[in-house]
Amino acid sequence: MTDFEINKYFNLAIQAAEKARGKCSPNPFVGSVIVKNNKVIAIGWTLQYGGDHSEIQAIKHAGKEAEGATIFVTLEPCSHYGKTPPCAKAIIEAGIQEVYIGIPDPNPIVSGNGIAMLKNAGIKVHCGFHEDKIKKQLEYYLCHIEKGRPFVTLKTALSLDGKYAAGDGSSKWITGEKARKYVHKLRSENDVILTGIKTILADDPLLNARLPGNPKQPLRVVLDPYLKIPVSSRFINSLSEFPGLIICSNSMLKTDKAKVLRQTGAVIHGLDCENGHFNLSEVLNMLHNMNFYSILLETGSGLAEAFLEDNLIDKFIFIYGAKILGGTKSPFPNLGLSNINQAILLSDISYRKIEQDLMVIAYPKVIT
């Protein structure tokens, strides 16, 4: 098979994986393409958690034609029994004769075992294609496995001169309607939307994904050390429709306010808290243990700065509206970087125009 053909089929598999983004967590979203006689005969992607993995979907679509075919899959096929049987076993039983794998799975229960199972069955296996692209596509899953915590994205909307609000605090709307729709898509793709109590008190946000159809709703999480959240807030009044979690100080768990909130259906978890501040690594560890892989921060400057200072932000999304506001409403006013040499360096920058707005995506630069 030529390099051109291999690249073509992997691009199709990567595109197929995108159809599962935000819909199959905590499973990674993976794409598969089955080819026979230089013709694509089936395409699959990961279904909702507990459903078929991409390889199984593709094999089902191919039917008997899978025998003697070649499969291209973005992530190493699993080799263990979980919610579903092993995909490597299904590939063997389908009679597929050759497998091209984008990247190996770093999950210890899979890592190399899927490849070994295929090779032991006499199947030709090739691994290591479009690695950078696939690793970025699976950044949530890889962070969960390799760092033992959820992947954290900070999203913020700013004027072109970098202000999150006008001098009087008003901010509706800095960006246009199409950019705001993109934010709802972003919410549906993440497991968790995390904010602080100051944002709840100031803006009374709903924090759900408002899209046509029936989009996956993220878990809305509020860091509220002293349970200041109003019972009348939109967050509380929408709990029957959209999941929500309040994280408070352990000292507040048995208070009357906690009792009242639980009567509304609120779920409340406690953590140690010092002077109104949580250890953010403990917050992430709690959410990691709940099997959440991705977190979208929609916070005020204080909480955003705290995540930055603890080096817990994996990705930045800045959406710049076509407006100039002036004033002092900077998104990180107290970050304390007094010298240019202390600046947080960013890399892997990408840009996208959304009507008159500009979206910039960047990653913290890893210093080696």
In this predicted structure, the answer to whether residue 170 has a pLDDT above a threshold of 70 is no
Task: Judge contact between 87 and 78, C-beta under 8 A.
Answer: yes
What is the spatial distance between Cα 240 and Cα 257, in angstroms, rounded to a whole number?
19
Q: Which of 84-88, 112-116, 325-329, 356-360 has the lowest mean pLDDT?
A: 325-329
Residue 283: pLDDT band with limits 50, 70, 90: very high
Q: Which of 37-51, 72-86, 198-212, 282-296 has the lowest mean pLDDT?
A: 72-86
pLDDT of res. 80: 67
Residue 340: pLDDT band with limits 50, 70, 90: confident
Question: Sheet holding 315-321: strands in order across?
Answer: 267-271, 244-249, 219-223, 192-196, 294-297, 151-159, 315-321, 357-364, 346-354
Cis, bond preceding 173 (omega within 30 deg of 0) = yes
pLDDT of res. 168: 67
pLDDT of res. 78: 87
Q: What is the largest CA-CA distance in the chain?
A: 69
In this predicted structure, the answer to whether residue 319 has a pLDDT above a threshold of 80 is yes
pLDDT in tens, 152-162: 999 998 888 88
In this predicted structure, the answer to whether residue 295 has a pLDDT above a threshold of 60 is yes
What is the spatial distance between Cα 133 and Cα 74, in angstroms, rounded to a whole number?
10
**pLDDT (mean) for 37-53:** 89
pLDDT of res. 196: 95
What is the spatial distance between Cα 246 and Cα 225, in angstroms, rounded to a whole number?
9
- Residue 81 makes CB contacts below 8 A (sequence gap 6+) with none
Catalytic residue list: 55
The alpha carbon of 293 is separated from its chain's Cα centroid by a whole number of angstroms, namely 6
**pLDDT (mean) for 231-250:** 95
pLDDT of res. 211: 84
Nearest of 133, 137, 128, 96 to residue 6 by alpha carbon: 128
Q: Which of 72-81, 82-91, 190-199 has the lowest mean pLDDT?
A: 82-91
Q: Which of 86-90, 127-131, 185-189, 212-216 has the lowest mean pLDDT?
A: 212-216
